[in-house]
Structure 1
Amino acid sequence: MSLINKAKAIALAPIHVLQLGTSAKSFLDHPLIGSQRLNQMGLHRARVRFADAMCRWRRRRLAKHVRSDWREAFDRDGFVVIENVVPAAEFRKLREAILHSEWPAREMRQGDAITRRIAIDTEMLQAAPDLRRFLARKDINALFHYVASFRITPLHYVQTIVSNLVGGGTDPQQVLHADSFHASMKAWLFLNPVAKEDGPFTYVRGSHRFTPKRLEWEHDRSLADPKSIDRLSARGSPRVDASGLTQMGLPAAEALALPENTLVVADTGGFHARGAAEKAGERVEIWSYARRNPFLPWLGGDPLSIPGIAEKRVGWLWSFRDRFEKTIGQPWQDVGRRRPMDDSPTD
Structure 2
Amino acid sequence: MAFAGETGTRLRTRIANWLKAPIWALQLATSAKSFLDNPILGSQRFNARGLHVARVRLAARLCAWRRRRLARKVRTDWREAFNRDGFVVIHDVLPPSEFAAMRSGILAYQGPAREMRQGDAITRRLAIDPAMLAAIPSVGALLARADLTALFHYVASFRTTPLHYIQTIVSHDGCNEADPQETLHADSFHSSLKAWLFLNPVAADEGPFTFVRGSHRFTPERLDWERRRSMADPRAIDRLSARGSPRVSPDDLAAMKLGEPEAFAVPGNTLVVADTLGFHARGAAARPGERVEIWSYARRNPFLPWLGADLLSLPGIAERRVNWLWGLRDRLEARIGQPWRPVGVRGALDGERGAG
TM-score, scaled relative to structure 2: 0.96
Q: Find 1:164's aligned residue among 172, 181, 202.
A: 172
Which of 318, 321, 325 is the matching residue for 1:313? 321
SS of residue matched to 2:29? coil
String of CA shifts for 1:194-236, please: whole Å, max 9, x gaps. Answer: 0011110000000000111100000000000000000000000
Q: Which runs of 5+ in 2 are unaligned?
A: 1-8
Structure 2 counterpart SS, 1:295? coil
In the alignment, which of 30, 33, 38 is matched to residue 30 of structure 1? 38
Aligned partners of 1:189, 1:257: CA distance in 2, in Å? 13
Alignment of 1:144-159 (within 5 A): 144-159=152-167
* Residues 106/41 of structure 1: CA separation in 2 closer, same or farther (3 Å cut): same
Range that drifts further, 234-243 or 337-346: 337-346
AA aligned opposite 2:51: L
CA displacement, residues 221-272 of structure 1 (integer Å, 9 cap, x when unaligned)? 0000000000000000000010000011100100000000000000000000
Aligned position for 2:6: none
Q: 2:272 aligns with which of 261, 264, 270?
A: 264
After superposition, what is the alpha-carbon deviation per residue over 1:101-133, rounded to whole angstroms, capped at 9, x for unaligned? 211100011111000000000010111111111
Partner of 1:240: 248
Does the 8 Å contact 1:113/1:168 carry over to 2? no
Structure 1 residue aligned with 2:289: 281
User: Structure 1 residues 334-343 or 234-243, which shifts more?
Assistant: 334-343
Match status 1:294 vs 2:302: yes
Q: Map 1:122-133 onto structure 2 (within 5 A).
A: 122-133=130-141
Residue 300 of structure 2 aligns with an amino acid whose one-letter code is: R
Q: 2:62 aligns with which of 45, 54, 60?
A: 54
Q: Does 1:140 align with 2:148?
A: yes
CA distance in 2, matches of 1:291, 1:209: 17
1:327 is displaced (CA, Å) by 1.1
Equivalent of residue 122 in structure 2, options 92, 114, 122: 114
User: CA shift at 1:321, angstroms?
Assistant: 0.8
Count residues with an aligned counterpart. 347
1:188 to 196, 200, 211: 196
* Structure 1 unaligned regions, length at least 5: none
Deviations 1:51-96 (A, max 9, x none): 0000000000000010000000000000000000012121111111
Partner residue of 1:11? Answer: 19
* 2:167 counterpart letter in structure 1: Q
SS in 2 for 1:260: coil
User: What is the rounded CA distance, in whole Å, between the counterparts of 2:44 and 2:339 in structure 1?
Assistant: 30
Structure 1 outlier segments of 4+, above 6 Å: none
> How large is the Cα RMSD of the aligned pairs?
0.9
Deviates more, 1:15-24 or 1:75-84: 15-24
Output the CA distance in 1 between the equivalents of 2:331 and 2:118: 23
Partner in structure 2 of residue 100 of structure 1? 108
Q: CA deviation at 1:343?
A: 2.4
- 1:81 is matched with which residue? 89
The equivalent residue for 1:215 is 223
Whole-angstrom distance in 2 between the partners of 1:325 and 1:6: 26
